Amino acid sequence: QMSEEELHERIRRAKSALGDRLVILGHFYQRDEVVQYADFVGDSFQLANAALTRPEAEAIVFCGVHFMAETADTLARDEQTVILPNLAAGCSMADMADEDSVEEAWEQLTEVYGTEPDAEGRLPVIPVTYMNSSAALKAFCGRHGGIVCTSSNAQTVLEWAFERGQRVLFFPDQHLGRNTAKAMGISVEQMPMWNPRKDLGGNSLEQLEEAKVLLWHGFCSVHKRFTTAQIEQARADHPGCKVIVHPECPMPVVDAADAAGSTDVIRKFVAASAPGDTIAIGTEINLVNRLAAEYPDRTIFCLDPVVCPCSTMYRIHPGYLAWVLDGLVEGEIRNQIVVSDEVAADAKVALERMLAAKP
Ligand code: 13P
Ligand code: SF4
């Protein structure tokens, strides 16, 4: 059994031996013991870009979850190797939309709406996938005139989609879809849910006729835990406190908060606050604790009193990082994430549309 100290020594040694041949990316939700080794720390949009900024690195070690590593592999040069330190680091939300169910929904929607553009040249439906989805679904969007979004550019992306389509099929996260569409003035009645187990997604033809955004039934198990009661409690306990939440939270929670945004927006919100301020945050605990430690002159706490880590992000333990880095030093690639050329070609189309649509 190796001590923590030996483990960290191994990581430091491998990192310095590999030098510029290696780049380590870390999501804001990663534990501090891992984040300390990241060359870039960011939200999922920033990390997708970061993968592009180091084309000379032979290996991209992604301390995050599976869909992020797939995105990096899709965008990286062919010669670059993307590594996920623990292959069990998935995302339960991404798993809620599988390719077959989306294809089937698409067939049904095509039957209802047809395929002909309207007088302004807008297609009947544009598929929009949240970054938190498999590469196969990004490829689906690439093939069908669709696009990818993250929580930091969802509104820009929906605007892009409505310039080209009469309505949107949004997956997998119902909450990000609903919160973003609502902020654009679309009413909840115009956002029916699509249940893949039911005919027409469980909707009537009239509902589909009215629909502007068809919402997949997915959700994030971390963010769905936040409630308006927690916000009321925070405001009662800390009069004058500010509340910011991630848009993966349910709509009533986002409505009751002072602000909502991606992990980087949350970080910037805290950075822009003043000493003495109190800020309650509705997102994953590792980010909240890191911000609280970075700004000791402010009161910063998580809205949920029960610690709520993302259990899959947490699966990237320093031990796995040491193991994949040792492999690289020895010339052995461990835990590589490979998106097939065929899937990557189409997924890249949808990702590049997103990168081109200004955030
Ligand atoms: P962002 O970092 O884009 O805000 O995404 C949060 C998240 O849930 C990542 O899985
Ligand atoms: Fe997936 Fe939620 Fe974890 Fe993000 S926080 S990786 S959406 S389960």
> pLDDT tens digit string along 41-50?
999 999 999 9
If one residue of 27, 267, 290, 313 were mutated to test the ligand 1 pocket, choosing by the most ligand atoms within 8 A of its CB, it would be 27
Is residue 351 in some structural domain? no
Q: Which pLDDT band, with edges at 50, 70 and 90, does 51 fall under?
A: confident
**Residues with Cβ within 6 A of ligand 2?**
65, 91-93, 132, 220-222, 248, 284, 310, 312-313
Q: 75 is in which domain, residue-wise?
A: 4-91+313-339
CB 141 within 8 A of CB 164: no
Q: Answer whether 44 contacts ligand 1 (Cβ < 6 A).
A: yes
pLDDT of residue 185: 98
210-219, 244-253, 259-268, 302-311, range with the lowest pLDDT: 302-311
Structural domain total, the chain: 3
Known binder of ligand: residue 27? yes
Does one domain contain both 292 and 323? Answer: no
pLDDT of residue 52: 86
Taking CA atoms only, the protein residue closest to ligand 1 atom 4 is 262
**Each residue's pLDDT tens digit, 323-355:** 999 999 999 999 999 999 999 999 999 999 999
Does one domain contain both 194 and 296? Answer: no
Is residue 347 in some structural domain? no
Is residue 358 in some structural domain? no
In whole numbers, what is the pLDDT of the chain averaged over residues?
96
Q: Which pLDDT band, with edges at 50, 70 and 90, does 307 fall under?
A: confident
Does one domain contain both 68 and 165? Answer: no
Does one domain contain both 206 and 232? Answer: no
Ligand nearest to the CA of 151: 1
Is residue 356 in some structural domain? no
| SS3 readout for the chain | CCCHHHHHHHHHHHHHHHHHHEEEEEECCCCHHHHCCCCEEECHHHHHHHHHHCCCCCEEEEECCHHHHHHHHHHCCCCCEEECCCCCCCCCCHHHCCHHHHHHHHHHHHHHHCCCCCCCCCEEEEEEEECCCCHHHHHHHHHCCCEEECCCCHHHHHHHHHHHEEEEEEECEHHHHHHHHHHCCCCHHHCCEECCCCHHHHCCHHHHHHCCEEEECECCCCHHHCCHHHHHHHHHHCCCCEEEECCCCCHHHHHHCCEECCHHHHHHHHHCCCCCCEEEEECCHHHHHHHHHHCCCCEEEECCCCCCCCCCHHHCCHHHHHHHHHHHHCCCCCCECCCCHHHHHHHHHHHHHHHHCCC
ipTM of the complex as predicted? 0.97
pLDDT of residue 306: 85
| Domain CATH code at residue 75 | 3.40.50.10800
- Domain boundary, last residue among 178, 196, 220: 220
Q: Answer whether 262 contacts ligand 1 (Cβ < 6 A).
A: yes
Taking CA atoms only, the protein residue closest to ligand 2 atom 3 is 310
Does one domain contain both 127 and 49? Answer: no
**Each residue's pLDDT tens digit, 172-210:** 999 999 999 999 999 999 999 999 999 999 999 999 999
Nearest atom (ligand 1) to Cα of 313: 10
Nearest atom (ligand 1) to Cα of 263: 4
Is residue 53 in some structural domain? yes
Is residue 273 in some structural domain? yes
**Each residue's pLDDT tens digit, 280-304:** 999 999 999 999 999 999 999 999 9
Does one domain contain both 116 and 171? Answer: yes
Does one domain contain both 86 and 99? Answer: no
Known binder of ligand: residue 49? no
Is residue 237 in some structural domain? yes
Does one domain contain both 202 and 99? Answer: yes
pLDDT at 1 over 90: no
pLDDT of residue 2: 79
pLDDT of residue 235: 98
pLDDT at 358 over 90: no
- Domain boundary, last residue among 192, 220, 248: 220
- Domain boundary, last residue among 177, 192, 220: 220
**Each residue's pLDDT tens digit, 77-107:** 889 999 999 999 999 999 999 999 999 999 9
Mean pLDDT of 14-32: 97
Does one domain contain both 20 and 104? Answer: no
pLDDT at 357 over 90: no
Distance in Å, CA 331 to ligand 2 centroid: 32
Does one domain contain both 177 and 269? Answer: no
**Each residue's pLDDT tens digit, 124-143:** 999 999 999 999 999 999 99
Q: Answer whether 132 contacts ligand 1 (Cβ < 6 A).
A: yes
pLDDT of residue 359: 54
Is residue 270 in some structural domain? yes
Does one domain contain both 111 and 210? Answer: yes
Known binder of ligand: residue 134? no
Taking CA atoms only, the protein residue closest to ligand 2 atom 2 is 220
Distance in Å, CA 68 to ligand 1 centroid: 10
Does one domain contain both 192 and 228? Answer: no
Mean pLDDT of 223-237: 98
